[in-house]
Structure 1
Amino acid sequence: MEDHTTDEEKFHSDNSIKSNFFQYYKNNSKTSNLTLQQRRETFLNAHKEKHSSAFDERRDLSELFEEYDCTSDETEGELMEVEKSPRRKKIRFRVSMSEWFTQIPDDLSDKWLVKFCPVGKRRLIISNMGKTKCFNKFGQKLFHFISSLPGGSRKYTKKGGLSVLDCIFNEKTNTFFILDMLVWNSVSFLDCEAELRHCWMRSRFLENPEEFTPYGKNSYTFKFLSEYPADIETIRSEMWLYETKNEVICDGLIFYHRESPYISGLNPLITWLKPFMLPEVLNIDVPQEYDKKRPSNYINLKSYLMNISEKRKRRSQMELMETEESPRN
């Protein structure tokens, strides 16, 4: 997925965003000795016991996505793509962020699904009260438009309520590719398993295609990203067939644990790989055009992630120095 942020921050976990289950999988004193597989199991068991996050405990779904005027301090250091306005709008809810695929799950073939993601930018789409609003992954409002989604225009306001979709926006094709469904027509799917969310969204897309077509001239198309069983042969086959089925180049693969709920922020039950990493991690050859996208200084995934960590540290240090030298302090 293309973005103005650095390549490594496009889709996977962002350390500035923490879910309500952060303590269950973050490498702290309680979990530092656990493997990634064990952390995932701990996370999933904790969710099943709690059965809902702090976000889900609210009765009114609209409160989860309520807008507020954010301050300059809240936007400092974040990607500023918001519409030009002295009062920037923001929501506290965040898209579910993945971890890097650093270990192959023992139950990859049986318990995981995979989606092939086109190049684009991560977006959260919220339709309600006759408007469809687009937010970036930090929760900042970018723009609004009218759509055919439930509640997305005045015409469909009476027919539908709040709907929230996790998407990838490809600017060249003016298309939102649907990754996940959080809410549909005021029915929450946040606490449902990923397999159910994807299955329900797919059936909705096939049975009611008119709800995903552009509404008027200044609107956008919505397309559903199909999910596949995450076994090696299926991944290999779909990777080689991708170009024949899609007009937008593949930016990466996102893996979902079938039982994963939708968590605002970091989620260890969602992982991410770039296509050029498939030969190394899963022993899957890729078309030459993807192999060429491997950075010239790339050695392996471990060193790649170490470089990312070092870059973040340097950036944080520079931001801290700039803050200390600011005339405001």
Structure 2
Amino acid sequence: MNWKDHPVYDSDTDFRFFWMMSKMQEIPEVGEVSKLNPYKFIPLQYHSCKKENLEELFKSTTTQFDGCLFYHKQAHYTFGASPLVVWLKPYMVGELLGIEIPDCMLQQKPANYSTYAAHMQQVKDRKEHFAKELEEKKAHRKQKRGQDRSKQFKMDVSRECDVSDTSISNEGNISKSSVNDSNVSEDMEHQVVANGNNVT
């Protein structure tokens, strides 16, 4: 999506594919493994989306492939899911475009596959199911955090109450001691006066 700091996000699909192929031809080293390039880049083949082109492609292919990625040729690059790009398995291409598909590729079709519309409905149902499970897990974690925080708050309050009781108890002992010290002082004063009277 960038070539030497030149972005092509706002370019249409046709230009992006042309730009990629031309730049890779200018620098063939990107297709070779080296110390500077540990992984070689292999551009995928792309073809015009015409029925006769696709028929020829499927007839001439000698190897199985996983599927075809269809782009809207005037679409700009879009992050995330987009209705302007769709991935189709070979058996889906035959169903939707009416193209004859080799038997070896039709064997990839799952036993539970009936039609493309039913398949997309299954995908939608699975996504909704996973989203619901995710929301339930989030709600459960949130509720558990709330309970833990409430429990922690009660423990903190209990500790504060224990500390307050200890302070009150200590203060009570200190007050009692002060009273006792006061009584001792008074006794000493009386004794001094008494001794003074005796001296006199």
TM-score range, shorter chain: 0.5 to 0.7
Letter paired with 2:83: P
Q: 1:239 offset after TM fit, Å?
A: 2.2
Task: Give the aligned length.
Answer: 144
Higher helix share: 2
Aligned counterpart, 2:126? 311
- Moved beyond 4 Å, runs of 4+: none
Q: C-alpha separation between the residues in 2 aligned to 1:198 and 1:300?
A: 31
* Mapped contact 2:30–2:37 kept (Cα < 8 A): no
Aligned counterparts of 2:45 and 2:37: Cα–Cα separation in 1: 26
What is the CA–CA distance in structure 2 between the aligned matches of 1:243 and 1:264, rounded to whole Å? Answer: 34
RMSD of aligned alpha carbons: 2.0
3-state SS of paired residue (1:233)? helix
CA distance in 2, matches of 1:259, 1:319: 36
Aligned 1:128-143 pairs, distance under 5 A: none
Q: Which range moved further: 293-302 or 259-268?
A: 259-268
Deviation at 1:302, TM superposition (A): 0.7
2:44 to 221, 225, 231: 225
Match of 1:263 in 2: 78
Deviations 1:40-91 (A, max 9, x none): xxxxxxxxxxxxxxxxxxxxxxxxxxxxxxxxxxxxxxxxxxxxxxxxxxxx
Of the two, which has the highest radius of gyration? Answer: 2
What TM-score, normalized by structure 1, do the two folds share? 0.41
C-alpha separation between the residues in 2 aligned to 1:220 and 1:289?
31
1:328 aligned partner? 145
Once the 2 structures are TM-superposed, how far is the Cα of residue 233 of structure 1 from its aligned partner? 1.2
- What is the CA–CA distance in structure 2 between the aligned matches of 1:271 and 1:217, rounded to whole Å? 35
* SS of match in other structure, 2:41: strand
1:229 Cα deviation (Å)?
0.8
Task: Give the 5 Å matches for 1:271-290.
Answer: 271-290=86-105
Normalized against structure 2, the TM-score is what?
A: 0.65
Check if 1:254 corresponds to 2:73.
Answer: no
Unaligned stretches of 5+ residues in structure 1? 1-181
Q: Which runs of 5+ in 2 are unaligned?
A: 147-200
| Larger relative strand fraction | 1
